Amino acid sequence: MVTQLRELYSLLSPGQRRRLLRLQGLIIVMAFAEIASVIAIGPFMAVVGDMSRLQGEGWLAQAYRLSGFDSPERFLSLLGVSVLAVLLVAAMFSMYTTWRLSLYGAQVGAELSSRLYRYYLHQPWLFHAGGSSSRLINRASQEVQRVTNRVINPFMQLNAKLVMVTCMSLTIFLYNPVVAASGILIFIASYLLLYKTVRRFLISNGRRVSRSQAKRFKLMTEGFGGIKDLLLLRRQATFTTQFDRASQQVARGQGVTQGLSEAPRYAIEMVAFGSVILLVLYLLNSHQGNLGTILPALSIYALAGFKMLPAYQKMYGAISHIRGNLAAYESIREDLIASQAHAEAELVGTHDKVLPLVPQRSIRLEEVHFHYPGKRVAALNGLNLTIPVGARVGLVGASGSGKSTAVDLLLGLIQPQQGRILVDERPLTEETLPRWQACIGFVPQHIFLADATILENVAFGVPREEIDAGQVEEAVRMAQLDELLASLPDGLETYVGERGVQLSGGQRQRIGIARALYRNAQVLVLDEATSALDGITEQRVMADIAAIAGGKTLVMIAHRLTTVKDCDVIHMVDQGRVTDSGTYDELVARNVAFRMMANL
Ligand SMILES: Nc1ncnc2c1ncn2[C@@H]1O[C@H](COP(=O)(O)OP(=O)(O)OP(=O)(O)O)[C@@H](O)[C@H]1O
């Protein structure tokens, strides 16, 4: 547990560590304030137990004379008020420190969550293509929250109470070593015994909660993502049953950890009462039954116990929570470590601010090989492809032949494991990649639409105040969306619903096309972009794309050969390489496979 906490500390940013150090100072001052409030009760009780202390030579008698009060009772009232004042200052200080501690924990949690989100958003395409988004969402939200509320916050409490208990123990130890040592030993031994008993259980419980939590997120993402199929197939029960089970496991796990951290309080209260009785008997015995002389010591011990007992309980509770939820930290540990290195590195700048690398002659994929991790067969196997600038290039081939992978390479989303991508015969490098990407417009097969307006979806990712409405209108017109917009009362300001549920497949695709056009890209890449459009709309959209593409380079993947009929060159892709290239008519004339694809 200590190792993980130290590691978590090392993951804090320098600013967070500085704040922690300042808080540590506050914690120490708080401990002294608490001690002062405990000690302050002593003189008051001494006078209550024996008024004659105000006569003679003791320091209380001197203070009485200096105060100028004419009766011991009024001096006693002054003492009482002073004790209360010290208690009040200590309580206010403790409240302030506790508030700062909670705020600190919450801030660290929020920063960790932002760090993970930023890190995930900057990961390459393969990271996302190979993983599941629900897992990332779960980690950046739920698991970070668990780490915040059940590891960092309890640790801050533990830290504060530990300092207080240590200082308080030292003080009462100086007051009477035998009594203090026995009391402290009794409490520590009781808590240690309890902790040892439940430790293993807390660990396995924490892991179970992590697993069930991840499962819940997966079920939510899959359930809502595939809602249409679920409704039609009426398979909701499969999901709800699993969700119920996972929720029960999370609830049970968290409840058990909570219970195990609270339950010992009652056992320890018994120990405390027993100890008080023992203490009274011991003091009476050692002071020959004189209640007046034991009253100050008894009050100090009682008040110290009154402060320390909840502190012990808090410490035990904090340790149980940390132990029971360290699994959440373990599940995000690697990403947090990686995100720290990432946070220190300079983040990739937005493409909107770089000078686009506009090709003048050609774009070429030369002998490229690409193998997805964990796959037996390579997706691309020495693929050669030349895209002359200003040409319309079609990519056709059976499903799984490698067309989308070739396009991903062209877009710079993945890098070839062998071979090169050349823009005007110059290989793409890490420096030129952002500039190359800035001149490409991409329309994917499945267009993601945010739960925002059409305007914001066309200018996806551009801050609202920076959107060029004129450019959006132009893009929308070119993508043949003006008819749809005219039928909507709010026009460009119409909300499309999450993932564009309020639009037809064709309308969604046209928004995707408008999005690519908004960037005024010089190279347009369309991956099955018009597959959801009906024949007539497709022809209109393609004619428009052809018109606006005048001078632009166009690369399109299509299953329907009519889409690529007018291309200057069509490349046939099979098993990760180009097997034939030519115009539509040339391929129809000489290639049997192409003829079959064209249903001729
Ligand atoms: N993210 C991925 N992880 C692992 N393998 C993948 C991934 N994406 C594609 N593949 C594999 O790479 C091969 C080529 O896939 P690719 O998507 O490039 O084909 P495609 O020609 O575009 O197919 P389609 O026309 O069906 O879209 C396939 O065998 C596929 O299973």
pLDDT in tens, 391-431: 999 999 888 899 999 999 999 989 999 999 999 999 998 88
Whether ligand 1 lies within 6 angstroms of the CB of 375 is answered as: yes
Integer angstrom CA distances of residue 294 from 76, 290, 510, 524? 18, 7, 88, 90
Instruction: Examine residue 424 and state whether it is found in any structural domain, yes or no.
Output: no
340 and 462 inside one domain = no
Atom of ligand 1 nearest to the CA of 408: 18
Number of domains in the chain: 2
Q: Given a cut of 50, is residue 351 above it in pLDDT? A: no
469 and 342 inside one domain = no
Domain boundary among the residues 501, 517, 533 is at 517
Confirm whether pTM is higher than 0.95: no
Instruction: Examine residue 443 and state whether it is found in any structural domain, yes or no.
Output: no
Instruction: Examine residue 461 and state whether it is found in any structural domain, yes or no.
Output: yes
Q: Given a cut of 70, is residue 229 above it in pLDDT? A: yes
Residues 534-570: tens digit of each pLDDT: 777 777 767 767 776 667 899 989 877 888 888 899 9
The span from the CA of 571 to the CA of 594, in Å, is 10
- Neighbouring-strand partners of residue 385: 365
343 and 454 inside one domain = no
The span from the CA of 361 to the CA of 363, in Å, is 7
455 and 313 inside one domain = no
Atom of ligand 1 nearest to the CA of 559: 25
141 and 253 inside one domain = yes
CATH number of the domain bearing residue 215 = 1.20.1560.10
Distance 318 CA to ligand 1 centre (A): 49
Whether ligand 1 lies within 6 angstroms of the CB of 127 is answered as: no
Domain boundary among the residues 347, 368, 401 is at 347
User: Backbone phi, then psi, for 422, in 5-degree steps?
Assistant: -120, 130
Atom of ligand 1 nearest to the CA of 402: 18
| Closest residue by CA, ligand 1 atom 7 | 372
The span from the CA of 383 to the CA of 397, in Å, is 13
31 and 154 inside one domain = yes
Q: Which residue has the higher pLDDT, 188 or 573?
A: 573
Q: Which domain holds residue 204?
A: 2-347
Integer angstrom CA distances of residue 558 from 161, 364, 529, 589, 600? 67, 20, 8, 20, 17
- What is the per-residue pLDDT for 548? 64
- Neighbouring-strand partners of residue 421: 365
The span from the CA of 526 to the CA of 541, in Å, is 12
- Write the ipTM: 0.96
Instruction: Examine residue 434 and state whether it is found in any structural domain, yes or no.
Output: no
The per-type count for the chain, helices as H runs and strands as E runs, is 24, 10
- What is the per-residue pLDDT for 349? 47
191 and 321 inside one domain = yes
Domain boundary among the residues 347, 375, 393 is at 347
155 and 40 inside one domain = yes
Instruction: Examine residue 401 and state whether it is found in any structural domain, yes or no.
Output: no
Instruction: Examine residue 593 and state whether it is found in any structural domain, yes or no.
Output: no
Whether ligand 1 lies within 6 angstroms of the CB of 289 is answered as: no
Q: Given a cut of 50, is residue 153 above it in pLDDT? A: yes
Whether ligand 1 lies within 6 angstroms of the CB of 225 is answered as: no
At 369, the pLDDT band (50, 70, 90 cuts) reads very high
- What is the per-residue pLDDT for 344? 57
Q: Given a cut of 70, is residue 499 above it in pLDDT? A: no
Whether ligand 1 lies within 6 angstroms of the CB of 404 is answered as: yes
Q: Given a cut of 80, is residue 155 above it in pLDDT? A: yes
Instruction: Examine residue 438 and state whether it is found in any structural domain, yes or no.
Output: no
The span from the CA of 370 to the CA of 382, in Å, is 8
- Mean residue pLDDT of the chain comes to 84
The span from the CA of 383 to the CA of 408, in Å, is 13
| Closest residue by CA, ligand 1 atom 5 | 372
Q: Given a cut of 90, is residue 221 above it in pLDDT? A: no
Whether ligand 1 lies within 6 angstroms of the CB of 402 is answered as: yes
Whether ligand 1 lies within 6 angstroms of the CB of 577 is answered as: no
At 345, the pLDDT band (50, 70, 90 cuts) reads low
212 and 330 inside one domain = yes
Whether ligand 1 lies within 6 angstroms of the CB of 201 is answered as: no
| Closest residue by CA, ligand 1 atom 12 | 379
Instruction: Examine residue 445 and state whether it is found in any structural domain, yes or no.
Output: no
**C-beta pairs of 270-278 under 8 Å, 24+ apart in sequence:** 271/186, 271/187, 271/190, 272/187, 272/305, 272/309, 275/183, 275/186, 275/305, 276/302, 276/305
Q: Given a cut of 50, is residue 59 above it in pLDDT? A: yes
